[in-house]
Amino acid sequence: MAVRIRLTRVGRRKRPFYRIVAADQASPRDGRFLEILGTYDPFVSPSAVQVKQARLSYWTGKGATVSDTVRTLLRGIKLPPPPNNVSNPALAPVPEPAAEQI
């Protein structure tokens, strides 16, 4: 079972509110999930993002991949980036070249 950390939409029509969840990759967007890891409210200025840091690191430690949208939200609130199990290689951090020793 491939676990993915992604957004699931709740809230009413034209008033979205999202939960950051750990879910099976095969389950639908608003379907069954394993655990709620946080929330995202795009209507608050600035956007309100709340994350359970300990649970996020637990799931990424178990090999869960983080969706591109959630990765962008985590950058916005200045959380340390999850490990490099990236779903989109274009967004993966570029490793710095090693310094040459003389």
pLDDT of residue 44: 87
pLDDT tens figures, 42-94 = 998 888 999 999 999 899 988 899 999 999 898 888 777 666 555 555 555 56
Residues whose CB falls within 8 Å of the CB of residue 78, separated by 6 or more in sequence, listed in order: none
CB count, 10 Å around CB of 56?
Answer: 23
- What integer pLDDT is reported at residue 15 of this predicted model? 93
Provide the greatest CA pair distance for the chain. 63
Q: Determine the pLDDT at residue 51.
A: 93
3-87 topology per CATH = S16 Ribosomal Protein; Chain: A; (3.30.1320)
- pLDDT at position 26 is 84
Residue 36 in this model has a pLDDT that exceeds 70:
yes
Domain ranges of the chain: 3-87
